[in-house]
Every structure is written in C-alpha cells, then in structure tokens.
Amino acid sequence: MKTYEVFLKKSGKDPFTHAGSVDAPDDEMALTYAREAYGRRSEGDQMWVVFRGHVLVADEIELEMADRTHKHNDGQLVAELRRATSGNES
Amino acid sequence: MEEFEDFLDAGGVVEPNDDMPESYRNAVFRFIELHANSEYMGGLTERDWIPKAPGMHRKLTALAKTQDEIGHAHLLYMVAADLGIKTREEMMVDLLEGRTHFHNVFHYRVHSWTDQIAVAYLVDAAALASQQAVFKNCSYGPYKRILRRVIAEEGFHMRNGEEMMLLMAHGTETQHDMMQESINRWWLPAVQLFGPDSRPGDELLRWHIKSERNEVLRDRYVQKFVPQLLGGGFVIPDPDLRKDPVDGKWKISEIDWEPLKKTMRNGGPDSARRIADARTAWQNAEWVRKALDSSAQVPA
C-alpha cells in the first residue's frame, strides 16, 4: 500500500484544495479510491492525486522567518498625511 | 505541557508533524480510532439492509449510506494512521480481534426495518450532535477538516431517517406500532451514546477535542427529540419522563451506566456476532487485497 494525497477543485474560480488522503496499491487504484472517497457527490470537477512521497514539504521555520515588513504597507502613514493635507486646505 | 495547553486555549491548531505531548497524541488517536471503528461497524450494519430495504429508492439510499459510512471509516483511519501510533491495517486487525472498541449503538441487534429507521433517526442524530460538538472547536487540524465532510453526509442520513420515521408515523396502525416497538428498543441506546457525565478533569475537554460536556449534549438531545417523538404520536419508553414545572425542560430517569460499560468492552448483546461478521467480511475480501497488491507490483 502507498499513501496518496487528494486535491479537489470545485467551482470555476476556487483553487485546488487538499481534501485528504487515501491508501492504494498503485496509481490507478489511487484514482479510483480518491474518487470514491472524496468525490461521490461531485464535490469537485477536477481532482489531483499525488503520491505522498512526491510532495515536497518546505521548511516551516524558513517560512515563518521571512521578513514581511517591507513587503506590506498598512496605509497608516498615508492616512495621517492625508489628514494633515486636508487640514491645510481648510 | 502548560505551554501546550496555553497554545490550545488560545485556539491553537495542531498538525500531524508538529511537536505535541505524547499524552495528547494518544488521546487524539484513541478518540479518532473509536470514531473510525464505529463508522466501519455502522457501515456493515447498513450493508445488511440493502437487500431487505423496501423498494428501489430505499435500497439506493441504503447503498449510498453504506458507502458514506465505510468512506468515513476510510478517511478517519487515514487521519488516525498519520499520528504514527498504528497503521491502518493494525487498527483493522485490533478491531476484528476485539482489542479495540466502537460505539454502544452497534452492539445491539437490528431486528426489523423500523429498527433500522430508529437507528437512522435516533442514533444518527445523536452521533451527529456529538460530532458537531467536536467539529466546533477541535484542536487537531486534520480531524476537524475531515469532520466537515463527515457531518455533511451524516446530515443526509439523519434527514432520510426523519423522513422514514414520519412516513411510519403517518402510516397504517401496523406501521405505527412497528415504529413504536423500535423506538422502545432504541431510545435508551441513543441517549446513552453521549456517555456518562463528563469527569471534572476530562482531558478531551481540556485539550479542545470535545467542546461540550456529555451531559450537556445529552440534555440538548432530549429537549429536541422528546417533543418530536410525542408529535409523531409515539410514547417514550421512560416511565419517569417528566417536564420540569420550574424550567419547563424534559427530564429523563437516572441512567444505570453499568450495562453500557460492559457493552463498550465488547460484551453487548450482539457484540460477538457483529465482530465475527466484520472479521468474515475482512477475510472474504482478502483475495481482492492480494490481487490488487500483486498486480501493482507487475511493471507496466
């Protein structure tokens, strides 16, 4: 038995999402089991089934450590400056 | 542990590869394994009624429900296996050897089609209520995600059950009497599904696996189902059932939990037959598993 991860895509604009996993002896049976276990009621119009050993898992610490501060602008300074500017006009 | 509990109290969600105390890992695993076993045993009972269900439509819904229950067992066994305590096969073998447990309601004999309706209506509703209470605030991520799907499908079963019960309620006198007989058999097991009152220090509650105490869920169930059954013209098999004049709530008689404890240790009236039946089903399908495994090894 091998473990496979199942991803489903529902209505047009939604991305693929992880539905769960199945055990199967080979790829063909994995597709069958995945359809039976996760798509019995047309839960997805597309399905990806991936052998778990082929899923590359990123380092969580690296992801958490990514410095985001200079990649966002919360708009606070803009709001302050706008207020100051409109104050000048009146 | 204190830090971990603070994390859980703050709404933290645990994933399979996260660090977690072994006691938490074991508690979550045991809980999911019990749930998976119960879905599996329930699916086998449902399967028994496919040929006996009256009419094509009921056969099809019984078939759909069987597939759902076995499907739930599959999903839950996958989630349980990822906790790294037992493989899926080890869990199956433990169940079939009577070493692990499943819900009380699958330890009794289903005598008639109306029994099967009572199970679908009363028991499925109790199971759904307890699953919803887990789903609400469950700290173990994969279980919570899979419960969303399980609950949606259990809702379908419960509606079918209510529909069939109401048809019997509005049916002939014989049908009404048959339904009453089944309610007599299944009312108490359904109420007992919630278990005895939760212990004060219940870890499942502290670790946000369960979100409600057993007695709260049981009481809510009684308040909902007593009026429904009375409305259908049925009698509730509890001579001490009464409406409290102060708070207007339905009160059931004290439950003797001793028989339940024995039942849960696989010593119920139909436990041995059901486990043997499940074992036969597993053995009969062995050639399929072997054929699939050996064909998978042949290079294309």
User: What domains can be seen in chain B, in order of their start residue?
Assistant: 2-294 (1.20.1260.10)
Q: What is the CATH number of the domain that holds A56?
A: 3.10.20.520
Total number of domains constituting chain A: 1
Helices (H), A1-90: 27-38, 60-65, 76-89
pLDDT of residue A90 exceeding 60, the answer is: no
pLDDT of residue A68 exceeding 80, the answer is: no
Residues 59-88 of A with CB under 8 A from B: none
Contact B295 A3 (CB under 8 A): no
Q: How far is B84 from chain A (nearest CA, A)?
A: 14
Of A19, A23, A57, the CB nearest to B88: A23
pLDDT at B246: 94
Question: Which segments in chain B show pLDDT lower than 70?
Answer: 297-300
Among residues B218, B166, B183, the alpha carbon closest in space to that of B197 is found at: B218
pLDDT at A11: 79
Contact B75 A37 (CB under 8 A): yes
pLDDT at A89: 59
Contact B71 A36 (CB under 8 A): yes
Contacts with A19 from chain B: Cβ below 8 Å: 149
Helices (H), chain B: 2-9, 22-48, 56-81, 88-96, 113-118, 124-135, 141-169, 173-192, 203-206, 214-231, 258-262, 271-284, 286-297
The residue to which tokens 């086998």 are assigned: B44
| Confidence band, pLDDT 50/70/90 cuts, at residue A85 | confident
Range of the domain at A13: 2-89
| Confidence band, pLDDT 50/70/90 cuts, at residue A62 | confident
pLDDT at B299: 58
pLDDT at B117: 96
Q: Name the pTM for this structure.
A: 0.90
Contact B82 A21 (CB under 8 A): yes
pLDDT averaged over every residue in chain B: 95
pLDDT at A60: 83
Six token digits for residue B292: 């699939």
- C-beta neighbour count of B263 within 10 angstroms: 22
Angle, vertex CA B122, rays to CA B117 and CA B127, nearest 5: 120
Residue A32 in contact with partner chain B when CB distance is under 8 A: no
